[in-house]
Amino acid sequence: MMRMQKILKKARHHPRNVFLISVLCGIGLVIGSWGGGIPLGYAAEAFPSGKITWIVGFQPGGGEDIMARGIAPYLEKYLKAVSPNPGKVAILIKNLPGGGEVRAINDIYHAKPDGYTIGNGGERLHILTMTGELPFDFYEISYIARLASSHKILVATKKSNFSIWDDVVKASKSAPVKLALSGFGGSNYIAFVFFVDTTGLALKPVIFDGTAGANSALIRGDVPISINSEDSLKTLIDSNELRPLLTFTDQTKFPGVPTIKEIGFPELIEPVRSQRYLVGPPGLPGNIKRIYEDALKKVFADKEFLAWNQKAKVTYDPVFGSDFDNLIKTVQGFYKKKEKVLRENLPK
């Protein structure tokens, strides 16, 4: 500002610089108007004032899709409540399966950072970083909140000789114990790699295309134990087809079943969870992130949403703000620590 005043003072002594003075004054008026707010003709509508696309990297009907569609109408409700144009606000789910979520993540990454494109992320982001398949730096993308998570549990078929966790430890000292897993390179496989590398137990993975195949093999007695998310095993545990031997948590709801913390490995709790994040493009403004956070907090306290979820049984587990930032750093730090063993065991 001082520099502009000196130029104007000098210019007043030279009549031929009248044009320069008028231009500089015009610039000053524009800057002054910006200081007090963008002129009416240039004002952008406050967020949210339009349709929001929520990208899901899987086919309709899967767990991640159900999670997003369960939240969407309630998130829309609370975003409308703070919108200057609520009639324009809507959340549209866009399914973009393919490439192990890479296609969907790419679309989110390249979207305009205006709040109108969001999407699912999770442990896949951590995995892709380690395999070198993530086409950008992990911390470039905007992390809004954790929406859901599901902890892992190690179970045994009732046809096996394993009644308690110590039975597995004892057997593994004689020969590797077969363990059923769904999906080579997926969440359960990563949990297995972390578990074996951290504990040093002798376990041999038997890979199946999906949870149904792994569970069927367990029930038949083809494989004695398995690691999977509790959501995927709950029905079989409740029917006594499978018995829990170890939970990857700090507390257990199964009497007599130890936790990963109790056997001495609490650092595995968060890294082996199935994490479900809400993310946005790089450079998402802080005020827009806060609008989403505030709206999501209201969603998770909404009685109608809670009633719906009681029937849907989606394991929502929201984390926001600095707690979420710390969670992201903790999980990514653990993946980085285990980078060598992951690269050795993940698909090439």
Residue with tokens 């393919």: 98
Partnered with residue 46 across adjacent β-strands are none
Domain 152-268 has CATH 3.40.190.10: yes
Q: Are 202 and 170 in contact (CB under 8 A)?
A: no
Residue type at 257 in one-letter notation? V
Per-residue burial over 214-239, b if 16 or more Cβ lie within 10 Å, else e, is bbebbeeeebbbbbbbbbbbeebeee
pLDDT exceeds 90 at position 120 = yes
0.95 surpassed by pTM: no
- Check whether the bond before 258 is cis (ω within 30° of 0): no
For the four alpha carbons of 230, 253, 325 and 335, in that order, the dihedral sign comes to negative
DSSP character at residue 21: H
Query: What average pLDDT does the structure give for the chain?
Result: 87
- CA distance between the termini of the chain: 58
Query: What integer pLDDT is reported at residue 34 of this predicted model?
Result: 38
- Each residue of 89-118: pLDDT tens digit? 999 999 999 887 889 999 999 999 999 999
DSSP character at residue 2: H
Per-residue burial over 97-117, b if 16 or more Cβ lie within 10 Å, else e, is eeebbbebbbbbbebeebbbb
Partnered with residue 154 across adjacent β-strands are 227, 246
C-alpha 113/C-alpha 118 separation (Å) is 9
Query: What integer pLDDT is reported at residue 44 of this predicted model?
Result: 61
pLDDT exceeds 50 at position 263 = yes
pLDDT band at 275 (very low <50, low <70, confident <90, very high): very high
pLDDT exceeds 90 at position 141 = yes
Query: What integer pLDDT is reported at residue 196 of this predicted model?
Result: 96
Nearest to 169 by CA among 154, 180, 147, 186: 154
C-alpha 166/C-alpha 177 separation (Å) is 13
C-alpha 292/C-alpha 71 separation (Å) is 12
Domain positions in the chain are 2-42, 51-149+276-345, 152-268
- Could you count the other beta carbons within 10 Å of the beta carbon of residue 95? 18
pLDDT exceeds 80 at position 6 = no
pLDDT exceeds 70 at position 321 = yes
Higher pLDDT, 1 or 82: 82
Q: Are 211 and 232 in contact (CB under 8 A)?
A: yes
pLDDT exceeds 50 at position 207 = yes
Please state the rounded mean pLDDT for residues 66-84.
97
Please state the rounded mean pLDDT for residues 227-238.
91
Please state the rounded mean pLDDT for residues 10-23.
42
C-alpha 249/C-alpha 54 separation (Å) is 30
pLDDT exceeds 60 at position 30 = no
pLDDT exceeds 80 at position 277 = yes
Query: What integer pLDDT is reported at residue 232 of this predicted model?
Result: 87
pLDDT band at 31 (very low <50, low <70, confident <90, very high): very low
Class for the domain spanning 51-149+276-345: alpha beta
Assess whether the region 51-149+276-345 and the region 152-268 belong to the same CATH fold: yes
Higher pLDDT, 212 or 116: 116
- Could you count the other beta carbons within 10 Å of the beta carbon of residue 255? 5
